[in-house]
Amino acid sequence: MARDHPPLLLATHSMAMGGAPGGPPDGVYRLEPGGEPALAGLTGQGGLLSPVVVDADDARRWYAGTRAGGVWRGDDAGATWREVNDGLVYKEVWSLAQHPATGALYAGTGPPAVFTSADRGGTWRICQHLMTLPSRRAWEFPGPPFHAHVKHLGLAAADPGLVLGAVEEGGVIRSRDGGRTWAVSNDGVEFDCHAVAVMPDDPAVVLATAGTGVYRSDDGGATFTASHDGIAKRYMTPLWTHPDRPGLLLAGGSQLPPPGWRRPQGAAAAVYRSKDHGRTWERLGAGLPDPFVPAPISIAGDRDDPDAVYLGLSDGSVWASRDAGERFQDVARGLPMVTGITVIRR
């Protein structure tokens, strides 16, 4: 496969099992076709834990959630950035999403909270009802600072009111009114949740990845059942849905949680594909590392090239497939952990 991918924005973050001391700094990198990653800002903000969001109505307006500096916005395709944190009580941003029709922004944080903005990040409002849920007191994370976080947010293009969150560790949270009220949807799903996605062709079908596999809901995220037939690596993390074939999904997983990635064999990872909305899975391998030592951290697609999919790994490498996962090839190396990938178009 030729290195003819479109420009990519790479969100990066270093962790104890990630980038080496003295290596490249955390931040946003721009990767041009055939070139080397070039730093595009947001160093010194604790790194990024989710992909950069390109505004639904203005391709030159970008949003980035940082681990220590809250949300930043660039109105000139990332040439400059400025903080947009008015009302954002917590600056540890783990997830950021925008509804494609309404333009509403959602930010998931640690401690676990969801904030929403109706004015492109100009001001933020906390989803107060979420803070009052009794079960929230039991949400926690096993490592310092031990508080849980909203690791991922899932939106439904056809239903602006539906907002789902994956809480690490706290399960799945769900709002049906754009974040005004919330419920915990932990019936049948693992407490340690990592990603959640609404199937674009059927909002009743929701997939969630967790520390023990993949879980599927047929009632809009109210209840779940285990759905990891064919998956051997049960610590599942990123999830991708094909834009033109919604039944086709990719998910990445590791043999064990991040502390174990320090072993000589690392994460002992794998990438899996489903062609039936997550009911069954097959392992992919052509072109991927063997042995697969780094962990899959992020997966992204390209709406203008529907079969293209990009994979970011914990060792700072990026892998691309132009045939929906049939074969991969590395397109970048030497970065900090790649926590998010965004395809950008001129």
261-310 confidence digits (pLDDT tens): 989 889 999 999 999 999 999 999 999 999 999 999 999 999 899 999 99
Domains of the chain and any CATH numbers = 8-343 (2.130.10.10)
Between 145 and 73, the more confident residue is: 73
60-72 confidence digits (pLDDT tens): 999 999 999 999 9
Task: Please state the rounded mean pLDDT for residues 153-171.
Answer: 95
Q: Percentage of residues in the chain with pLDDT exceeding 70?
A: 97
Distances (CA, A) of 319 to 42, 212, 268: 23, 25, 17
Q: Which of 195, 275, 198 is nearest to 237 (CA)?
A: 195
Average pLDDT, the chain: 93
Summarize the chain as % helix, strand, coil (round to 5).
5, 40, 55
- In this predicted structure, what is the pLDDT of residue 346? 61
Is the per-residue pLDDT at 153 higher than 70? yes
Measured between alpha carbons, how far is 178 from 127 in angstroms, rounded to an integer? 9
- In this predicted structure, what is the pLDDT of residue 317? 96
pTM strictly above 0.75: yes
Task: Please state the rounded mean pLDDT for residues 27-39.
Answer: 93
CB 160 within 8 A of CB 104: yes
DSSP secondary-structure letter at 130? H
Which is it for the CA torsion 199, 204, 238, 130, positive or negative?
Answer: positive
Q: Which of 192, 116, 206, 218 is nearest to 164 (CA)?
A: 206
Is the per-residue pLDDT at 159 higher than 80? yes
DSSP per-residue letters across 252-282: EEESS-GGGGGSTTTT--EEEEESSTTSB-E
Residue 282: what residue type?
E
3-class secondary structure per residue, 50-107:
CCCEECCCCCCCEEEEECCCEEEEECCCCCCCEECCCCCCCCEEEEEEECCCCCCEEE
Examine residue 7 and say whether the peptide bond preceding it is cis (omega within 30 degrees of 0).
no
274 Cβ contact list (under 8 Å, min separation 6): 247, 248, 249, 250, 251, 280, 281, 282
315 Cβ contact list (under 8 Å, min separation 6): 18, 293, 294, 333, 337
301-339 confidence digits (pLDDT tens): 998 999 999 999 999 999 999 999 999 999 999 999 999
Distances (CA, A) of 274 to 196, 199, 215, 240, 247: 15, 13, 13, 10, 7
Measured between alpha carbons, how far is 257 from 169 in angstroms, rounded to an integer? 13
